[in-house]
Amino acid sequence: MTKRMMIEVRGKSKSWLFHFDGDTSHLDEWRSDGLEINVIENSIPAWIVQLGVARVWCFLQDLFNFKNPWRK
């Protein structure tokens, strides 16, 4: 199954995050090889965060995408 993911690449002075669409069946293999990869569950615009309603946004986004909004 393909999902939106993010990989962290650490440089000498900064860390960089890159988004990509990847197959979740390879996730364990990538992590065991030392890659820092996370699955992106929700995307939140900056203006939503500034308004302080990020939790409400994620709840509604989960409902819209037919996910369980009460998961942890």
Q: How many helices (H) and strands (E) does the chain have?
A: 3, 3
What band does 72 get if pLDDT is binned at 50, 70 and 90? Answer: low
User: Residue 57: exposed, middle, or buried by beta-carbon count in 10 A (0-12, 13-18, 19+)?
Assistant: middle
pTM of the model: 0.68
Rounded to an integer, what distance in angstroms lies between the CA atom of residue 70 and that of residue 55? Answer: 11
Q: Residues 1-17: pLDDT tens digits?
A: 889 999 999 999 999 99
Residues 52 and 70 in one domain: yes
Q: Which domain holds residue 58?
A: 44-72
Residues 20 and 6 in one domain: yes
Rounded to an integer, what distance in angstroms lies between the CA atom of residue 54 and that of residue 60? Answer: 10
Q: Residues 35-59: pLDDT tens digits?
A: 999 999 888 999 999 999 999 999 9
Residues 22 and 54 in one domain: no
Q: From the centroid of its chain, how far is CA 16?
A: 14
Q: How many domains does the chain have?
A: 2
